[in-house]
């Protein structure tokens, strides 16, 4: 068997995390860093888990792998993972891992790793990682485009509808890590309890986020970065109202705004810490400044005419 290699992109959610779980739209884009999976000859179908993963992550990865492998007839391949992203930082590392692994498994089973086939298989793995994910993470990773995504009830394996959003101007963000990360399952579960207790109040807030996302999709397509930045700021306020932010995340949001971000918010699950994004027409000087200050950060272009790659 020839060695196989596949990539799964990390992701950032520009707008609409959490409410996307309840059927409202979200905008998400791929990072140019993610997870690389390599497939080599083996007597069985096995996963070589990354050494950087902790014991719980390793257990979950093996379970998710077994579920996906079974669906493609357990081809004889040893899959090795090389994460380029921090694991569990809100940057879609599990989706990137699921997508990269699914692409290798499909190839090893003699099937074409199309975006659709990859997304179907990665979805099986994502359910092991997150319980009730909306599907936005692995869809963004498999499509590798800035997308407007909405979860839908659909045939087995299809989680939502995605439409590419094209921008006439580069949409570039600085991604900065802050605080200690809370597991996605916990923040999603705690929000589910609050919304079950006060359904009307939370429905109003989710609806506000949904309208913001629909408006922001138009600002992206018009190249109106100022309008997009304002939508991100308002989204952050609503995420805070939903009880999903924390001092570490808020401090980083205000730090990015003080450095000139057109908009800033946390991205992903939120909680005690994780990733914060700031929209900057020129991200490099900001990355240089934050790095000098000891902040783990990089820049990524999510859409528009290509002018740069990721700066690790």
How many helices (H) and strands (E) would you count in the chain?
A: 9, 10
Q: How far apart are CA 152 and CA 154, in angstroms?
A: 6
Between 150 and 255, whose beta carbon lies closer to ligand MEV?
150
Contact call for residues 78 and 101 (beta carbons, < 8 A) = no
The residue from 188, 212, 228, 286 that contacts ligand MEV (CB under 6 A) is 188
Q: Which helix (H) or strand (E) holds 184?
A: helix 184-197
The residue from 14, 21, 33, 175 that contacts ligand MEV (CB under 6 A) is 21
Contact call for residues 264 and 257 (beta carbons, < 8 A) = yes
- Does residue 124 belong to the site contacting ligand MEV (CB under 6 A)? no
The residue from 136, 142, 225, 248 that contacts ligand MEV (CB under 6 A) is 136
Closest separation in Å from C-beta 30 to ligand MEV: 13
Between 101 and 107, whose beta carbon lies closer to ligand MEV?
101
Stretch that binds ligand MEV, among 15-23, 110-118, 205-213, 215-223 (CB under 6 A): 15-23
Stretch that binds ligand MEV, among 102-110, 127-135, 156-164, 251-259 (CB under 6 A): 127-135
- Does residue 10 belong to the site contacting ligand MEV (CB under 6 A)? no
Ordered DSSP codes for 142-162: HHTS-EEEEE---STT--EEE
Q: How far apart are CA 287 and CA 233, in angstroms?
A: 20
CA distances from 32 to 23, 85, 170, 281 (A): 27, 10, 14, 18
- Residue carrying the six token digits 């990865």: 61
- Does residue 137 belong to the site contacting ligand MEV (CB under 6 A)? yes
Within 249-268, which residues bind ligand MEV (CB under 6 A)? 268
The residue from 6, 225, 269, 279 that contacts ligand MEV (CB under 6 A) is 269
Contact positions toward ligand MEV, by CB under 6 A? 13, 17-18, 20-21, 130, 133-134, 136-137, 184, 188, 268-269
């Amino acid at each position: 068997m020839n060695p196989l290699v596949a990539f799964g992109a990390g992701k950032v959610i520009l707008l609409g995390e959490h409410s996307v779980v309840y059927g409202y739209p979200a905008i998400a884009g791929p990072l140019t860093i993610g997870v690389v999976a390599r497939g080599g000859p083996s007597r069985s179908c096995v996963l070589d888990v990354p050494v950087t993963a902790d014991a719980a992550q390793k257990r979950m990865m093996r379970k998710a792998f077994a579920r996906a492998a079974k669906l493609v007839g357990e081809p004889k391949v040893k899959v090795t993972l090389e994460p380029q992203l921090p694991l569990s930082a809100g940057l879609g590392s599990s989706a990137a891992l699921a997508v990269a692994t699914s692409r290798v498994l499909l190839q090893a089973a003699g099937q074409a790793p199309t975006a659709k086939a990859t997304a179907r298989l990665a979805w099986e793995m994502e359910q092991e990682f997150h319980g009730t994910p909306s599907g936005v993470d692995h869809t963004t990773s498999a499509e590798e485009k800035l997308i407007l995504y909405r979860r839908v009830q659909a045939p087995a394996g299809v989680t939502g509808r995605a439409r590419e959003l094209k921008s006439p101007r580069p949409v570039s963000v600085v991604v900065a890590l802050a605080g200690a990360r809370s597991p996605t399952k916990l923040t999603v579960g705690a929000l589910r309890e609050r919304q079950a207790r006060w359904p009307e109040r939370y429905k109003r807030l989710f609806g506000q986020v949904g309208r913001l996302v629909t408006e922001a999709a138009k600002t992206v397509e018009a190249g109106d970065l100022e309008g997009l930045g304002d939508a991100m700021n308002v989204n952050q306020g609503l995420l805070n109202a939903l009880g999903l932010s924390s001092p570490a995340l808020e401090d980083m949001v205000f730090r990015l705004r003080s450095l000139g971000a057109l908009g800033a918010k946390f991205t992903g699950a939120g909680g005690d810490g994780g990733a914060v994004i700031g929209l900057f027409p020129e991200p490099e000087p900001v990355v240089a400044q934050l790095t000098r200050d000891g902040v783990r950060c990089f820049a990524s272009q999510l859409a528009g005419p290509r002018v740069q790659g990721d700066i690790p």
